[in-house]
Amino acid sequence: MIEVRGGWSRWAALVVLAAGCARRPAPPLAGPSSAPVLQTPARVALIAAPVESDWKGLGEEATSLLSQYLRINTTNPPGNEIAAARWLAEVLRREGIESRIFEPAPGKANLYARLAGDGSARPIVLLNHLDVVLASPEFWTVDPFGGVIKDGYIWGRGALDMKGEGIAQLMTMLILKRAKVPLKRDIIFLATADEEIGAGVGAAWIAEQQPDLVRGAEFLLNEGGLTRAKAGGAGVEFYAVGTTEKSPFWLNVTARGTTGHGSRPTPDNPVHRLIRALDRVADWKTPLTVTPSVERSFSDLARIERDTTVRRWFSDIRAALRDSAAVHALTSDIAYNALLRNTISITGLKGSDKTNVIPPVATAAIDVRLLPGQDPAAFLAELVRVIGDTAVTVKPQGPNWPATESSTETEMFRAITEVARERTPNALVTTMMLAGFTDSHYFRRMGIASYGVGPFPLTQADSRGVHGNDERVSIDALRSGVRFYYEVVSRVARQ
């Protein structure tokens, strides 16, 4: 295998990590830390939009708020997002911003708040999720729900995914309100439940039950982007903005046959049929496909790629895919492979519970991820052709959606680029397709241009805390990320 090195593989590893966002083992019902106490953080007075000297204090305020927020244990399941929603409502209320809490199920909550603009342009939604994944305290060096501030970092489950970004969005609301920044757009703050379990009563519930809350919005900012800091933390290597995500298309495969005793083999044992069908599926090489956003990412990243061969491939990925050496190298990298084709992972198998009984039915679960622009029905028809056995059926596990893509030719994308380049001259700002998915798809399908933004400059080592142990964000990165968020949003929203 030729090793593919360079800037992009560094974030591509994170993309694959994020692909596992949705399914985690069930945590204990009670968290390891006690209920949070709301303190009043030092509040930076603003009479106008913040100037350079205000940002130190605003960073301290954000640090204090994040530390408190991390003490609210919203491990999902059960989530208990209501506690986090009430805390956010209180922080907003003190600032004179009214919010609404929806409780779609006991203990579950979605919070909605809105700053009014003059209505001359369409709203911006700031979307964040309240829940976090399980933390196993025995593997952490601090209490994951202690809100610990130590060694220049704020530690805790959710610091990166995504209570830290939630605080950057919250601070953006507080600063705009406090400084009385005149707005042409409404700013909608939406904090939701159940992102980490991939369904439930969070963003899906908003999209189905309360779509009017966000109707007419032009832009949405959410998790799903990345600011990659150079190793050692000296500056930014690139900014990657999430413009699209692959679409999960989870399937059940069922083989039927004749039941019987294991001592007298039947010719149509469904387990045998299933294994043969899955063998064909596992061998199937789905076609390589270059989507516009992936093409752009590769050609952008060619600019910072040091290996001359890889740089040539990246600069014209379509040409590279006609070269067998390049195809072998690129598809041997699991992150690149996932960006260049629909992928299939066989993940579940079930036959008989008893070793001596041939079951009437054998089943498998398959995790398929489709690229933007792919037709699920056409993919399914192709898969059935590959299986080639009428005794084996394939059915989607639930509803699916086409992967949608948000344009880079928008005021929001330009603002992100401008703000990035003001802090990092000539910064590389590129697009990113997540192999996994966030809640953005609910809103892209409503016609809202939705972008994944990672406001905190993170090294590769920093990113490991996402769904891992010792999740933390540096105070410097938080301060810089709060400012980044505010500058992007105010640039697009102010009159």
Binding region for Zn ion (CB under 5 A): 161-162, 223
- Of the candidates 217, 272, 234, the one whose C-alpha atom is nearest the C-alpha of residue 451 is 217
Closest contact distance (angstroms) between CB of 162 and Zn ion is 4
Give the nearest distance from C-beta 462 to Zn ion in angstroms: 16
The residue with tokens 């919203």 is 74
CB of 278 to Zn ion, least distance (A): 32
**Nearest in space to 223 (alpha carbons), one of 81, 128, 335, 124:** 128
In the bound complex, what is the minimum distance in angstroms from residue 114's beta carbon to Zn ion? 23
Q: Strand, coil or helix: what is 83? A: helix
Q: Find tokens 């709060």 and name the residue.
A: 482
Whether residue 439 contacts residue 129, with contact meaning beta carbons closer than 8 Å, is answered with yes
CB closer to Zn ion out of 162 and 278: 162
Instruction: Of 112, 96, 125, give the one whose Cα is nearest residue 186.
Output: 125
Q: Which pair of structure tokens corresponds to residue 353?
A: 């519970």
- Residue 313 or 437: the one with the smaller Cβ distance to Zn ion is 437
Measured CA to CA in angstroms, residue 245 lies from 46, 254, 395, 433, 436 at distances of: 38, 28, 22, 5, 7
Closer CB to Zn ion, 194 or 223, in the complex? 223
Q: How far is the CB of 198 from Zn ion (least distance, A)?
A: 11
| Nearest CB to Zn ion, comparing residues 162 and 320 | 162
Helix (H, G, I), strand (E, B) or coil at 487: helix
**Shortest Å distance, C-beta 70 to Zn ion:** 14
Q: Which residue has the tokens 């009430």?
A: 86
Q: With respect to Zn ion, which residue has the nearer C-beta, 19 or 274?
A: 19
Q: What is residue 110's three-state secondary structure?
A: strand
**What is the spatial distance between Cα 173 and Cα 196, in angstroms, rounded to a whole number?**
24
Q: Which is nearer to Zn ion, 155 or 298 (CB)?
A: 155
Instruction: Name the residue with the smallest CB distance to Zn ion.
Output: 161
